[in-house]
Amino acid sequence: MVGTVHKTLEVVHGACPHDCPDTCSMLVTVEDGRATKVEGNPEHPFTQGTLCGKVSDYLDRVYSEDRLLYPMRRVGPKGSGQFERISWDEALTTITEKFKATIAEYGAEAIMPCSYLGHEGLLNGLTVGDAFFNRLGATVTERTMCISCTSTAYLMTYGPTHGTDPDTFRHSKYIVLWGCNALSTNVHLWPFIQAARKNGAKLVSIDPVRTRTAKQSDWHIPIRPGTDGALALGMMHVIINEGLTDDDYIENYTVGFEELKARVQDYPPEKVAEITGIATEDIITLAREFAATQPAVIRIGVALEKNAGGGQGIRAISCLPALVGAWRHLGGGMLQAPMWPFPIRWDVVHRPHFIKPGTRVLNQWQLGRILTNEVPLDPPVKMLFVYNCNPVTQAAEQEKILTGLARDDLFTVVSEQFLTDTADYADIVLPATTQVENLDLMFSWGHTYVTLNNAAIAPLGEAVSNTELFRRLAAKMGFEEDCFKLSDEELTMEVLDWSAPVMDGIDMDVLKAQGYAKLKIEDVPHAEGNFPTPSGKCEFVSGMGVDSNFVLPAFRQGYETYEPGEPVDPLPTFTPQRESARSNPKLAERYPLSLMSAKPHQFVNSCFANLPKHAKLQGGPRLIIHPEDAKARDITDGQLVKVFNDRGIFQAPAMINDMTRQGVVVAPLGYWRKLNPAGGTVNAATSATFTDMGHTAAVGDSLVEVAVAVENQSPLRTQLLSMISSLFARVKKAETPTKVGV
């Protein structure tokens, strides 16, 4: 049973499934069983009738001739992408026999699931399959690919609150997009920002890169990457020492002000200017304006967390709104990920009672280290089951992942919609449905609406939803528990606590009628404190007792205990990047450039990178490099360069542009390795070592060197590469979105 197929309906309520804060409410037109149009729902207050440029062509994805529609088995060498069609029965038999043999020989922990948020639904998303793998006794996979570090830092300050509702941004007078490229990554927030600007609000963008968002802002502050904590501490130095604080708010609704006041004395603006690369006067102006212009709000993006000191940086930033009493006002405060009020019953999907105490937990960011047995594992991972993710392009230390996936003694299953770089290494490939083919219920990490996604059409070929995949596997394994037999309709009723106060007035009938419903939450939740922290106040000194291995329960996939790490300073502080001239001058001598990997405008992570229209609009892979850095290396515009460090190498044409800072190079994320004839992608050079909080990999904290790549090129290769370069140059001239770079 997959989902209800509404053959009689012409327009079906759906929801975009992608890993994006906007979670758009979608209208799908169906004619004779075929989806013919997708549109943004005009009734939905956040979607406002538009889908982004990635998903407005969603049907290209659904009906792509490259869709995987049948189970397949590998017939060529691993990585070659050569497969032949088999039946579902053969696929399930092969996989379950392999499960049993692996368990008999090595124990169940030799099996590792690997999945993330390729689908964001409560049924088919983050946690689907957990019950199955927990029942199997498999290794528990910790999934901290995104916002785990940011969320930890934010919760240390404010607890699990939705914070400033994006719907209220129109009332703000001072909006700071801090490491957030909203015009690409959170585009439905933009009309709210514009409405505020019409009323006189100022928009500030703090970003090392002059992105399209930065260009559209009133003030772009091009900070040195990984130094945001210093900037926030410097701003607090000004605000506190100039008496710009809201003393009444501080006294009644915060804890730890005296300690914070002492701490910020270490960060006078002159010193912060030297760390961040921002002029002293600008730091002072920013601090004064932020304090004086209420309601002020900070929208924090996700990239900051990918630095060694990312968590502490976000901690420092999150103290700012409380210090100036921004929370008193409609439209003031801070927006991180307003997902906390959704009453999700994670237990229903994790079924943590199946996890045997002591079962090992491995983190997916470190897949390369795991598969190459870098830290000897007992038992080593012998079976990998991948779904909802594409680790070859998205996880760090790519070359180790490839080495691991190529192991003859590793059996890999990949459930996918397309033959990705990861799927190429599978022993068995299983076809997955797209969102128009399955039922789901969506939460959001960018707004506060629940959204229903009805199945609009029947599954194509023999594709199945993730829920159906695990029902089939469980049946084949002979798992008798009721949880493995729940239909999708039953799951929709179980995964949410429909009786929670925030669900007041929301039931399935409402969702079926309008497709979405807003949670009942407060517009100005913290005018009088009321933060869900241990003290009930904003905690400048955090009482959460975080250590370096602490992972929030929401990111824990049901496991309870973990090995404590180093204590984390309960007061915000500044920790420099791990790889920088300041912290590691020896490394910086060999690899002087800081590498960033911004989200691509036209893809969602690696989704859509294989579709012709999207690929054309995005333009080919590129390395954005500052004119001075290019000059010092004799690099000309469009020339192929290699980008490398001790971890690996990738190649792309150079795009010489002062939109990036000197010393910082940018390679947009999401391109597929096999579609980049120049070789590799940005994650070849990134590190899987964790940051200071939440087991996030410090992929934004990587030093590299860049050089012209000309040696040992075959004529065919040279021809191909020059074609890419010229396409790239054409796209640049054509005034398409790529002209701004990422």
Ligand X SMILES: Nc1nc2c(c(=O)[nH]1)N[C@H]1C(S)=C(S)[C@@H](COP(=O)(O)OP(=O)(O)OC[C@H]3O[C@@H](n4cnc5c(=O)[nH]c(N)nc54)[C@H](O)[C@@H]3O)O[C@H]1N2
Contact stretch for ligand SF4 (CB under 6 A) within 49-57, 296-304, 355-363, 506-514: 49-57
- By CB under 6 A, is residue 669 in contact with ligand SF4? no
Alpha helices in 126-227 (DSSP H): 130-136, 148-158, 182-185, 190-198, 212-216
415 makes contact, choosing from Mo ion, ligand X, ligand SF4, none, with CB < 5 to 8 Å by partner type, with: ligand X
- By CB under 5 A, is residue 604 in contact with Mo ion? no
Cβ atoms 297, 331 nearer than 8 A = yes
User: Which listed residue (2, 30, 52, 236) binds ligand SF4 by CB under 6 A?
Assistant: 52
In whole angstroms, what is the distance from residue 261 CA to residue 265 CA? 7
In whole angstroms, what is the distance from residue 304 CA to residue 227 CA? 9
- By CB under 6 A, is residue 436 in contact with ligand SF4? no
Q: Which is nearer to ligand SF4, 418 or 690 (CB)?
A: 418
- Roughly what angle, to the nearest 10 degrees, separates helices 310-323 and 228-241? 30
In whole angstroms, what is the distance from residue 342 CA to residue 521 CA? 10
Alpha helices in 432-504 (DSSP H): 466-477, 488-494
Cβ atoms 242, 288 nearer than 8 A = yes
- By CB under 6 A, is residue 519 in contact with ligand SF4? no
Least distance (Å) between residue 521 CB and Mo ion:
23
Contact stretch for ligand SF4 (CB under 6 A) within 19-27, 135-143, 432-440, 587-595: 19-27
User: Which listed residue (5, 51, 193, 344) binds ligand SF4 by CB under 6 A?
Assistant: 51
Residue facing ligand X at closest CB distance:
118
Least distance (Å) between residue 101 CB and ligand X:
24
Contacts by residues 558-563 (CB-CB < 8 Å, ≥ 24 positions apart): 558/130, 558/134, 558/140, 558/346, 558/347, 558/350, 558/351, 558/352, 558/355, 559/140, 559/142, 559/352, 559/355, 559/359, 559/361, 560/352, 561/357, 562/361
User: Which listed residue (2, 30, 91, 117) binds ligand X by CB under 6 A?
Assistant: 117
Which two three-digit tokens encode residue 253?
């609704």
- By CB under 6 A, is residue 303 in contact with ligand X? yes
Cβ atoms 698, 310 nearer than 8 A = yes
Contact stretch for ligand SF4 (CB under 6 A) within 18-26, 345-353, 406-414, 690-698: 18-26
Contact stretch for ligand SF4 (CB under 6 A) within 52-60, 224-232, 496-504, 715-723: 52-60
Q: x-or-dash pattern for ligand X, window 449-478, by CB under 6 A?
A: -----------------x------------
Q: Which is nearer to ligand SF4, 187 or 314 (CB)?
A: 187
Q: Which is nearer to ligand X, 419 or 502 (CB)?
A: 419
User: Which listed residue (68, 91, 146, 297) binds Mo ion by CB under 5 A?
Assistant: 146
- By CB under 6 A, is residue 388 in contact with ligand X? yes
- By CB under 6 A, is residue 442 in contact with ligand SF4? no
Count of residues near Mo ion by CB under 5 A: 1
Q: Which is nearer to ligand SF4, 55 or 303 (CB)?
A: 55
189 phi/psi in degrees, rounded to 5:
-80, -20
Q: Which is nearer to ligand SF4, 74 or 188 (CB)?
A: 188
Sort strands 449-453 and 516-518 into parallel, antiparallel or unpaired: antiparallel
User: Which listed residue (103, 180, 291, 337) binds ligand X by CB under 6 A?
Assistant: 180
- By CB under 6 A, is residue 686 in contact with ligand X? yes
Contact stretch for ligand SF4 (CB under 6 A) within 15-23, 74-82, 394-402, 527-535: 15-23
- By CB under 6 A, is residue 450 in contact with ligand SF4? no
CA 653 from chain centre, in angstroms, equals 26
Cβ atoms 273, 283 nearer than 8 A = yes
Least distance (Å) between residue 613 CB and ligand SF4:
15
- By CB under 6 A, is residue 74 in contact with ligand X? no
Residue identified by tokens 């199997």 is 136
In whole angstroms, what is the distance from residue 314 CA to residue 319 CA? 9
- By CB under 6 A, is residue 209 in contact with ligand X? yes
Contact stretch for ligand X (CB under 6 A) within 34-42, 295-303, 544-552, 613-621: 295-303
Count of residues near ligand SF4 by CB under 6 A: 13
User: Which listed residue (593, 682, 684, 704) binds ligand X by CB under 6 A?
Assistant: 682
The residue among 671, 666, 651 whose CA lies nearest residue 712 is 651
Cβ atoms 658, 628 nearer than 8 A = no
User: Which listed residue (387, 650, 671, 690) binds ligand X by CB under 6 A?
Assistant: 387
Helix (H) or strand (E) holding 13: strand 11-15
At 661 the three-state DSSP class reads coil
User: Which listed residue (12, 14, 18, 661) binds ligand SF4 by CB under 6 A?
Assistant: 18
Cβ atoms 125, 23 nearer than 8 A = no
Q: x-or-dash pattern for ligand X, window 129-168, by CB under 6 A?
A: ----------------xx----------------------
Give the C-alpha distances (Å, rounded to integers) separating 731 from 157, 619, 722.
44, 6, 14
Contact stretch for Mo ion (CB under 5 A) within 20-28, 54-62, 143-151, 660-668: 143-151
The residue among 694, 696, 700 whose CA lies nearest residue 667 is 700
112 makes contact, choosing from ligand SF4, ligand X, Mo ion, none, with CB < 5 to 8 Å by partner type, with: none
Q: Largest alpha-carbon pair distance within the chain?
A: 72
At 465 the three-state DSSP class reads coil
> Exposed (0-12), middle (13-18) or buried (19+): which is 715, by Cβ within 10 Å?
exposed
68 phi/psi in degrees, rounded to 5:
-80, 120
Which two three-digit tokens encode residue 541?
């000194």
Q: What single DSSP character describes residue 175? A: E
In whole angstroms, what is the distance from residue 67 CA to residue 89 CA? 20
Least distance (Å) between residue 609 CB and ligand X:
8
Contact stretch for ligand X (CB under 6 A) within 72-80, 159-167, 315-323, 381-389: 381-389
Q: Which is nearer to ligand SF4, 22 or 416 (CB)?
A: 22
Give the C-alpha distances (Å, rounded to integers) separating 492 from 77, 125, 138, 495, 669.
41, 13, 26, 6, 33
- By CB under 6 A, is residue 206 in contact with ligand X? yes
User: Which listed residue (533, 645, 683, 725) binds ligand X by CB under 6 A?
Assistant: 683
- By CB under 6 A, is residue 55 in contact with ligand SF4? yes
> Exposed (0-12), middle (13-18) or buried (19+): which is 73, by Cβ within 10 Å?
middle
Question: In which order are the strands placed within the sheet that holds 174-178?
Answer: 219-221, 202-206, 174-178, 296-300, 333-335
User: Which listed residue (474, 511, 604, 709) binds ligand SF4 by CB under 6 A?
Assistant: 604
Site for ligand X in 616-675 (CB under 6 A): 669-670
Q: Which residues bind ligand X (CB under 6 A)?
A: 19-20, 116-119, 124, 145-146, 178-181, 184-185, 206-209, 211, 223, 225-226, 228, 301-304, 306-307, 387-391, 394, 415-418, 420, 432, 466, 596-601, 603-607, 669-670, 682-683, 686, 699-700
Q: Which residues bind ligand SF4 (CB under 6 A)?
A: 16, 18, 20, 22-24, 51-52, 54-55, 187-188, 604
Q: Which residues bind Mo ion (CB under 5 A)?
A: 146
